[in-house]
Amino acid sequence: MWLQVRSFAALLLGTFLMMVGTGLGNVLIPLRASAEGWSSTTIAWIGTAYAVAFTTGCLLTPLFVRRVGHIRVFAILQTLLAASMLLLALVPHPFAWAAFRAVGGLTLVGGYMVVESWLNERVDNSNRGTIFAAYMIVSMSGVAAGQFILPLGDIMNETLFMVAAIAFGAALIPVALSVAPAPQPLTQVRIDARALFRRSPVAVVGSFLAGVIFGNWIYFGPLYGKAMGLSATGIAAMLTAAMVGGMVFQVPFGKLSDRFDRRYVMALAGAIGVAISIAMIVIAPTEPTSIIAGMFALGSVLFTIYALNVAHANDQADADEFIQVSGGLLIVYGIGNMVGPQLGGRLMDVMGPNGFFVAMGGVYALYGLYALWRSIRTTAIHPSLRPDFQIIPVLSTTTPETLNMDARTADEDQSRLSPAQKTRSRRHSATPSPGNGRRL
């Protein structure tokens, strides 16, 4: 494995440095905004500006790359990204921060898409699993490392913003010096929302609600930790515990969804999210270990439900439609990210720290109930006719290019090359296809 990873170590180093800056920024920005005395609703608008720009960047970055090339785009984006972090420290005003975070969201997604497109040039069926695993390990390690930089500085001065900016700027060095050939053009996401909804309503609605949940988490999770009295180290540990919980529990949830109707498992995940939210409100833990344990448990469904949505949607798709379907769901998820901060911010303004879990529990309830309702209305595809669940560790930086490293892309590539393989991969020889009106 090391020999395979070493050949693209420079690109992984660039990814790690970007993730360090992202992890630090994600926890630093809401905490500094709160320390400035801004309301949760104000912070929510900053989060929404970022989510709008990040999702828009998924659509615009491929156009920029086609116009001027990968390296030039990456250099410009990393420069603007580092500058946006420095400007946050220089101009601590809500309107300015919303604008700077919009710049940061647009440039950050572009940077990730360029690096991922280079990694995708190294992907084939023999090393796809290795590269994807290495990328996700590096990504999650970078986010965790960035979060644990927070205790090393004072959120009220410029130092931590400078460190994040340095990380983003340093990411340019290994990527710019990479001897890897220029990759193919980036994935251009095209979404047919009506067709996607006809194919799998529960996956579309579920992806939107999963985005609402994660949008609330990314901005108000750190503020919940602060309100409950956690130190900077405790907040970093809490956020990391949720990520670890998500990675640990994706496997058992995935195995369950391979054996039973995925919508039942989605309903179960929603019920668990509601139960954890209620428990955190009723128990109101104050000990750091209890809060971190609660967030580990929450992570079991926080980072899992989006992968269930994708798996369910692809149960209805042909092998050559994975990128189209999953890319469309990612845009829907991004739209949910725009809404999440608005919900959490307003509830926290009214209810204090409990508002965070009221928002989480309410959306989890909608997620689970809708999945259960759909399971009652239509029958499930038999497990033998469905592709296996694949882990998708959704971070705040997941882009359409990330999907190209997924194992299911191999099936899509093979189906394009071999009509015989495409015929064998179609799963509905005895079952009505989505095109024949099947709606799950």
Q: Tell me the domains of the chain and their CATH numbers.
A: 9-418 (1.20.1250.20)
Q: Residue 56: which of 14, 103, 2, 6 has the closest Cα?
A: 103
Contact 296, 241 (CB under 8 A): yes
pLDDT in tens, 95-128: 999 999 999 988 888 887 777 777 776 666 566 6
Q: Distance (Å, rounded) from C-alpha 39 to C-alpha 246?
A: 30
**Would you mind telling me the total number of residues written for the chain in this entry?**
440
> Who has greater pLDDT, 397 or 370?
370
The total of other beta-carbon atoms located within 10 Å of residue 107's CB is 26
What is the rounded CA–CA span in Å between residue 105 and residue 84? 10
Residue with tokens 């070493």: 6
- Quote the pLDDT of residue 416: 46
Among 135-139, 227-231, 397-401, the range with the most confident prediction by mean pLDDT is: 227-231
Question: Which among 2-11, 206-215, 258-267, 392-401 has the top mean pLDDT?
Answer: 206-215
- Amino acid identity of residue 315, one-letter, is D
Which has more pLDDT, 433 or 269? 269
> In the chain, what percentage of residues exceed pLDDT 90?
35
Higher-pLDDT residue of 221 and 8 is 221
Q: What is the pLDDT of residues 47-60, one digit of tens each?
A: 999 989 988 887 88
For 59-93, b where at least 16 C-beta lie within 10 A, e where not — what string? bebbebbeeeebeebbbebbebbbbbbbbbbeeee
Q: What is the pLDDT of residue 96?
A: 95
pTM of the shown model: 0.81
Would you say residue 230 has pLDDT above 70? yes
What does the block give as tokens for 56?
């828009």
In sequence order, what are the residues at sequence separation of 6 or more whose Cβ sits closer than 8 angstroms to the Cβ of residue 368?
Answer: 266, 267, 268, 269, 270, 271, 273, 274
* pLDDT of the residue at 191: 66
Can you tell me the distance from the alpha carbon of 173 to that of 165, in angstroms, rounded to the nearest whole number?
A: 14
349-394 tens-digit pLDDT: 999 999 999 999 999 999 999 989 888 877 766 565 555 556 665 6
φ, ψ for residue 352, nearest 5 deg:
75, -155
415/392 Cα distance (integer angstroms):
22
- Report pLDDT for 125: 59
pLDDT 10s digits, 285-319: 889 999 999 999 998 888 888 878 777 777 766 55
Looking at residue 131, its pLDDT comes to 72
pLDDT at position 311, please?
76
Residue pair 405/132 in contact (Cβ under 8 Å)? The answer is yes
Residue of higher predicted confidence among 13 and 410: 13
